[in-house]
Structure 1
Amino acid sequence: MTDLAGGDAGLIAASREDPECFAVLFDRHAPVIHRYVARRLGRDAADDVTAETFLTAFRIRARFDPARAGVRPWLFGIAAKQIGRYRRQEVRALKLLARTGCDPVADSWTDSADDRLVAEAAVSSLAGALARLSAGDRHVLLLFAWADLGYQEIAEALDIPVGTVRSRLNRVRRKLRTAAGAAGRPLIEAPVHEGDPA
């Protein structure tokens, strides 16, 4: 079985009668959840957090509201709660990144050695700024930047109003601009998602 009518929501509904249907959701969404968690906590914790995210999702699948915009925000919300348990480890990793400027998880996203050197220098100051953010602000920012969720999806994932998402992102952008300015580098603005205010 690869899919049912109703997409992911249909799979969740079907998994109440046939639990193996939930495996399709795992296959479909676990890689992106794992990448997101690995960026936040490192590869060692990503396996455990991803497994716990899907185990929790399976346990509470009867509470999933099929009227939601999609399954991804629901899964990222569960992952965010699991990440909260690893918060100290995440802050330590960000502080290490701030000191070394080397992100052991991120793929090489540029082929130019000059661009890599400039990027690594900027990463140190920005990682330090990320480590100083509150957990709520960091969740909003990283769901936006790393998980590529829109404002409404972030609101659903974290069970907060869209206005709170907007205000947190504004506050974080100001803090990161200050950090980037202190490092003598401009902050690259994140892309605007469809349906998000410009």
Structure 2
Amino acid sequence: MAAVTQAAAGTNADTDAAVIRASLADPDRFASIYDRYAGMLYRYAYQRVGAEVADDVVAEAFLSAFRGRASYDLDRQDARPWLFGILTREIATQHRREQARYRAMARSTYETVQDGPADRVAARVVADAARGPLAAALAGLAPGDRDVLLLVAWGQLSYDEVADALNIPQGTVGSRLNRARRKVRKAMGGFDPTTTMEENDEL
């Protein structure tokens, strides 16, 4: 994951921190941060609040990041945890929409037609069958537990990156994640799809 981030960031002189530092004198430079991470943040927001809201929360998150860039800790070369933290706060303002999305998904029946290798089709069928119960399980989680679970599973952040994003101790990340996964496993009859969510694009 770090290797991918560094590859996206380019040379050391072009790290996220370097770009943010340069943007203090030349605001247009901040567009590079948007280019690097807008797609990633949109996919995460889409899964949590749906297409109608995702554009707005991502736009607000980047606007907030731009306005607050002077307070960014330039010792942190990777801006992803910072951006995901801002986005999580924006998503929190859409709590009711997120809950409604999960409830609607839990009630829905999905029919998927896919071409391709048999094992890939089988994996998609399993994912479709799990989608409704998983959505119901996510709706039942405390907001803080859900944030941690989905930042790990969908945002693909490490424990320390989640701690940084949410400004909480790493131990709290671990306890919230364990509690959330325990509740998801119980709701899913012992199966925890969040451990392999990073392989799927959506619920």
2:73 partner amino acid = D
Tell me the residue number matched to 1:75: 83
Matches within 5 A, 1:52-67: 52-67=60-75
Can you give the 5+ residue segments of structure 2 that lack an aligned partner in the other structure? Answer: 1-9, 112-117, 197-203
Give the SS at the match of 1:65.
coil
1:57 partner amino acid = A
Q: Structure 1 CA distance, aligned partners of 2:34 and 2:164?
A: 20
2:28 paired with 1:20: yes
Shift in Å at residue 56 of structure 1?
A: 0.2
Tell me the residue number matched to 2:191: 186
Q: Structure 2 CA distance, aligned partners of 1:42 and 1:189?
A: 19
Shift in Å at residue 186 of structure 1?
A: 2.6
Q: Structure 1 CA distance, aligned partners of 2:36 and 2:145?
A: 28
| TM-score after normalising by structure 1 | 0.85
Distance 1:189 1:98, change over 3 A: closer
Q: Structure 2 CA distance, aligned partners of 1:3 and 1:59?
A: 25
Can you give the 5+ residue segments of structure 1 that lack an aligned partner in the other structure? Answer: 104-109, 192-198
Give the SS at the match of 1:129.
helix
Q: Structure 2 CA distance, aligned partners of 1:69 and 1:162?
A: 19
Q: Deviations over 1:109-129 (max 9, x none)?
A: x97555433322222111101
Are the counterparts in 2 of residues 152 and 162 from structure 1 also a CA contact under 8 Å?
yes
2:135 to 108, 127, 137: 127
Q: Structure 1 CA distance, aligned partners of 2:194 and 2:58?
A: 29
2:179 paired with 1:174: no
Shift in Å at residue 4 of structure 1?
A: 7.2
Shift in Å at residue 6 of structure 1?
A: 5.2
Q: Deviations over 1:8-61 (max 9, x none)?
A: 101101101000000011111111011100110011111111110000000000
Tell me the residue number matched to 1:195: none
Q: Which has the higher helix share?
A: 2
Q: Structure 2 CA distance, aligned partners of 1:102 and 1:56?
A: 36
Matches within 5 A, 1:122-161: 122-161=130-169
1:119 partner amino acid = A
Q: Structure 2 CA distance, aligned partners of 1:101 and 1:120?
A: 9
1:64 partner amino acid = Y
2:56 paired with 1:51: no
Give the SS at the match of 2:73.
coil
1:24 partner amino acid = S
Aligned length: 183
Are the counterparts in 2 of residues 155 and 165 from structure 1 also a CA contact under 8 Å?
yes
| C-alpha RMSD over aligned residues | 2.4
Q: Structure 2 CA distance, aligned partners of 1:54 and 1:132?
A: 29
Give the SS at the match of 2:172.
helix
1:117 to 110, 125, 130: 125
